[in-house]
Amino acid sequence: MKLTIATFNIQNKYKVKRYSGVDSYGDHTKELVDFISSNNIDIIGLQELTSNYKQRLLKKICNKYKVVGKYRFTRIGNIIPYIKKYNESNSIITNKKIIKSKTIHIPFFGGIPRILTIAYILVDNYKVRVINTHLENRSQKSRDRQLKYIEKIIKKEDIYTILMGDFNTITNNNSFDMFITKLNDLGYKRVEMNKPTHRIKHLPIDHIFIPNGWEVVNIKNPNINSKMSDHKPIIVEVII
């Protein structure tokens, strides 16, 4: 069967007071829902999704889609004003049946805590684990620990897994190249998208990993409304 997977850092515009997906350029929640539906996306991982944005998104998204993923500071972070603007979730949105989900913290040194969301879903008769994350953008040491932590999670279960997110690193980084090799040894391949996914840095820092046995039939890196985010999404169509 064919499955369409995507990852997209939608950008937390925390300088916009109580950013809810709406700014002077329009309603980005509507644009996001249109993007998901028009591309027939089955599973998408979003990074930098704030509580205000999520509340508006839930009102617009079609009933056939479910959204899971808790925040880095839990619910308390949605109350304290200073923390709230950094209280993002790495949510997973899917039109498939969700069996269960959880959000866990991953290692970091100071700065803002980092998390990943795991959802177990049913794709026909297959149980699939989806992992969505957003890694450290400054400390290489911290990002290295996060990559090792994710590798351990992948190893824990013998189950089809999709790993996606904003890794804040590129393939010629030694640590990330080693991570790609280790995941390949575990039976997973990186989707070969090497075009820039960050509009300002002009670097491919967003990635998707899928089982080696899945056939990639199409990869897209659409240049959608630049005001919605400083990233470009990755969309991959696979046959399981």
* pLDDT tens digits for range 157-182: 999 999 999 999 999 999 999 999 99
Question: Which tens digit of pLDDT belongs to each residue from 213-237?
Answer: 999 999 999 988 779 999 999 999 9
Task: Name the token pair of 194.
Answer: 């090497």
Average pLDDT over residues 101-126: 91
Query: Residue 185: pLDDT above 90?
Result: yes
pLDDT of the residue at 114: 93
Calculate the dihedral angle through the C-alpha atoms of 80, 84, 87, 91, rounding to the nearest 10 degrees: 120
198 — phi, psi (to 5°)? -110, 125
pLDDT of the residue at 59: 93
pLDDT of the residue at 48: 96
Contact 10, 30 (CB under 8 A): no
Contact 204, 193 (CB under 8 A): yes
Three-class SS state of 84 = helix
Side chain identity, residue 113 = P
Q: Is 183 exposed, middle or buried (0-12, 13-18, 19+ CB in 10 A)?
A: buried
Higher pLDDT pick, 228 / 111: 228
pLDDT of the residue at 225: 76
Question: Which tens digit of pLDDT belongs to each residue from 1-15?
Answer: 899 999 999 999 988
Average pLDDT over residues 104-112: 84
CA 62 – CA 5 distance, rounded (Å): 17
pLDDT of the residue at 75: 65
Instruction: Tell me what the pLDDT averaged over the chain comes to.
Output: 93
Average pLDDT over residues 15-20: 83
Q: Where are the alpha helices (DSSP H) in the chain?
A: 28-38, 51-60, 81-84, 140-156, 174-185
With cut-offs at 50, 70 and 90, classify the pLDDT of residue 203. Answer: very high
Identify the CA nearest to 118 among candidates 102, 134, 133. 102
pLDDT of the residue at 82: 62
Q: Burial code of 62-72, b = ≥16 C-beta within 10 A, e = fewer?
A: eeebbbbbbbb
pLDDT of the residue at 14: 84
Question: Which tens digit of pLDDT belongs to each residue from 42-84?
Answer: 999 999 999 899 999 999 998 899 999 999 886 665 666 666 7
Q: Can you list the domains of the chain with their CATH numbers?
A: 2-239 (3.60.10.10)
